[in-house]
Amino acid sequence: NAGVTQTPKFQVLKTGQSMTLQCAQDMNHEYMSWYRQDPGMGLRLIHYSVGAGITDQGEVPNGYNVSRSTTEDFPLRLLSAAPSQTSVYFCASSGGGMGQETQYFGPGTRLLVL
Amino acid sequence: AQKVTQAQTEISVVEKEDVTLDCVYETRDTTYYLFWYKQPPSGELVFLIRRNSFDEQNEISGRYSWNFQKSTSSFNFTITASQVVDSAVYFCALSGGNSGYSTLTFGKGTMLLVSP
């Protein structure tokens, strides 16, 4: 079982460029979410999805776009990268049913925007 | 709105000392879940424990123990006889709220440094 996978592991972008961070899970989890981690800030929720075709905004959604066309995949798109989006991005998934509330995280993507 | 407070930004101990990491939470939900995650220097997030709001029993797992008290909205984590491998950032988190149980609200984390 691969669990939650994220690609790429590390990316450097120039201001204004766009890119997609990939996230996939093989646990048939309904819930998936994206967080960003900044020094001294903990993890903050960007967007989340409770199932294919359903997404919603979290605490810090501006500048990011998501879609959920399949249960397995939940890509995060940066429309026009800004230095403020330099961060470590984590994708997570959970089962969504009773007793399945634990979120499992991918290894993270470290993004540097110049 | 939900909130998790980890007042200790950084703790330094010497190996074999006991250490307690504090976590205080705020929520209006009657049903919620509390979590602790460990983030070692390698960067991944490792799940340690989940507790639901109806279960106030303390839990012990090896050198780790957790004290959940609804009366004080606290979910503290104690490491007994700390080891260098315990050095990491520890996050307390809360689920529930507007997104149901699909997302987490995190504290800012406590960095634990265990020196030999």
Q: Residue A61: is the preceding peptide bond cis (ω within 30°)?
A: no
Average pLDDT, chain A: 93
* Residues in CB range of B88: below 8 A, 6 or more apart: B38, B39, B40, B41, B111, B112
Residue B13: pLDDT band (50, 70, 90) is very high
- pLDDT digit string (tens) for B77-101? 999 999 999 999 999 999 876 667 7
User: Taking Cα atoms as reference points, which of A26, A22, A20 lies closest to residue A4?
Assistant: A26
The verdict on a CB contact (< 8 Å) between A31 and B102 is yes
Determine the residue of chain A that is closest to B104 in CA distance.
A45
A8-12, A27-31, A38-42: range with highest mean pLDDT? A8-12
| pLDDT at residue B82, as a whole number | 97
Contacts of B91 in chain A (CB under 8 A): 42-43
**pLDDT beyond 80 at A64:** yes
Instruction: State both tokens at B38.
Output: 């460990």
- Chain A, 1-30: which have a CB under 8 Å from a chain B CB? none
CA dihedral of residues B82, B83, B86, B88 (deg, nearest 10)? 100
The Cα B75–Cα B93 span in angstroms is 10
CB of A33 less than 8 A from some CB of B:
yes
Q: How much of chain A exceeds pLDDT 70, in percent? A: 95
Confidence at residue B108, expressed as pLDDT on a 0 to 100 scale: 96
Q: What's the pLDDT tens digit per position in B17-74?
A: 999 999 999 998 888 889 999 999 999 999 999 988 888 888 888 999 999 999 999 9
Q: Looking at the complex, does the CB of residue A71 fall below 8 Å from at least one CB of chain B? A: no
Distance CA A82, CA A39 (A): 17
What is the average pLDDT across A51-80?
95
Q: Which of B2, B29, B35, B45 to mutate to test the interface with A (most CBs of A within 10 A)?
A: B45
Give the pLDDT band of residue A16 (cuts 50, 70, 90): very high
pLDDT of A101 over the 80 cut: no
Instruction: Give me the sheet containing A64-66, strands edge to edge.
Output: A4-7, A19-25, A76-78, A64-66
- A74-109 b/e (C-beta count within 10 Å ≥ 16 → b): bbbebeebeeebbbbbbbbbbbbeeeebbbbbbbbb
Structure tokens at B111: 């960095």
